[in-house]
Amino acid sequence: MLIGKAPEFKSSDITPREKFLNRRNLIFGGLAAAGVAYEWHKKMPPLYTPSVEASSKLATVPGTFPPVSDPVTPQGKATSYNNFYEFGTDKADPKANAGKMHVRPWTIKIEGLCNNPKTVDIDALLKFKPLEDRTYRFRCVEAWSMIVPWVGYPLAELIKFADPKPQAKFVEFTSLADRSQMELPGGFDWPYKEGLRIDEAMNPLALLTFGSYGQTLENQQGAPVRVIVPWKYGFKSAKSIVKIRFTDKQPTTTWNDMASNEYGFYSNVNPGHSHPRWSQAHERRIDASVFPKTIATLPFNGYANEVASLYNGMDLNRYF
């Protein structure tokens, strides 16, 4: 299978960091001025290097979305304290280990109950719609939070392109699982899977995300493409996606499958509904320089105006 599989890793594929950065700056200077920087992949040979070296600027257009007044979490913090269990269960593991992952070439398979099933190349996907800067609150189920300027376009655009059939009610996301590039620790049923109801996925806040802080995602953040669903606990935001499938049944998802009493399918941020082992009423900001360090958690992570109507008539204690 071709999906998400990169060619064999050869040491000759590695571009020395200095050389690469210089070349990038050269190409970039001209392109950025012309406003076509997001097409940079076209101009460059494929590079199979760790993301720290491959991370590049992404040109964005102004978008409209609810502003966040809290200070943005420093980039170094948001990219060194991560959950990406494929690379290990410690918060420092993803940064230490995800450099091994090849993010080019990369394809995303669109399948299931849709009229336009297709395998799409990541660079085509990246250029499909203008990229926006979207600064979002992000709240992990483990009660920490950060504020990150993500770069992407609404997931709704990809769903419209896929053109789901009327029977399709859910969309399932599958992450890469490749033992040659990842640890894939035991005790999990890899690949990592997540899912949303289609109307949730179509909400303008749900972002198909290619970057953060104006640059392509670091591997540990889920390069080359992930989902960001800011009103839900972090685990709903699947990383390094290789497949999107439309289905009429609620898909099984990694954490819900592991412990359905602890991690619901919906997992909307809800300060009133405790996790069986801890309260969800507060969150610790991973940015140590902000005060206070612990703040009250908001319903739907502060996005109630935008998303609460999706759940009208639902008992959110039952469908947590």
Residues that bind ligand MTE (CB under 6 A): 82-86, 140, 175, 192, 221-222, 234-235, 237-240
Closest CB to Mo ion among residues 140, 162 = 140
Tokens coding 160: 């419209």
Q: Which among ligand MTE, Mo ion, none contacts residue 85 (Cβ within 5 to 8 A by kind)?
A: ligand MTE
Closest CB to ligand MTE among residues 31, 181 = 181
| Single residue of 55, 73, 83, 220 touching Mo ion by CB under 5 A | 83
Q: Does 140 sit near Mo ion (CB under 5 A)?
A: yes
- Spatial neighbors of 255 by CB under 8 A, at least 6 apart, are 141, 235, 262, 263, 267
Q: Is 192 annotated as a binding residue?
A: no
Go through 155-184 and write b for each residue having 16 or more CB atoms within 10 A of its CB, e for each that does not: bbbbbeebebeeebebbbbbbbbbeebbeb
Shortest distance, position 138 Cβ to ligand MTE, whole Å? 6
Q: Is 239 annotated as a binding residue?
A: yes
How many chain residues interact with Mo ion (CB under 5 A)? 5
Measured distance CA(182)–CA(217) in Å, rounded: 17
Q: Is 226 annotated as a binding residue?
A: yes
Shortest distance, position 197 Cβ to ligand MTE, whole Å? 18
- The full DSSP string for 148-200 is EEEEEEEHHHHHHHH-B-TT--EEEEEE---TTT----TTS-SSPEEEEEHHH
Q: Which among Mo ion, ligand MTE, none contacts residue 267 (Cβ within 5 to 8 A by kind)?
A: none
Q: Is 180 annotated as a binding residue?
A: no
Cβ-based neighbour number of residue 86 at 10 Å: 26
Place of tokens 């609150």: 137
- The residues that bridge with 174 in the sheet, in sequence order, are 193, 243
- Spatial neighbors of 10 by CB under 8 A, at least 6 apart, are none
3-state secondary structure of 235: helix
Shortest distance, position 223 Cβ to ligand MTE, whole Å? 10
Q: Is 175 annotated as a binding residue?
A: yes
Q: Is 203 annotated as a binding residue?
A: no
Q: Which among ligand MTE, Mo ion, none contacts residue 297 (Cβ within 5 to 8 A by kind)?
A: none
Tokens coding 12: 């000759």
- The residues that bridge with 153 in the sheet, in sequence order, are 208
Shortest distance, position 236 Cβ to ligand MTE, whole Å? 7
Q: Which among ligand MTE, Mo ion, none contacts residue 106 (Cβ within 5 to 8 A by kind)?
A: none
Q: Is 85 annotated as a binding residue?
A: yes
Task: Look at the chain and count its residues.
Answer: 320
Q: Which residues in 216-275 contact Mo ion (CB under 5 A)?
A: 234-235
Site for Mo ion, rule CB under 5 A: 83, 140-141, 234-235
Annotated binding residues for Mo-molybdopterin: 82, 85-86, 140, 175, 226, 237-239
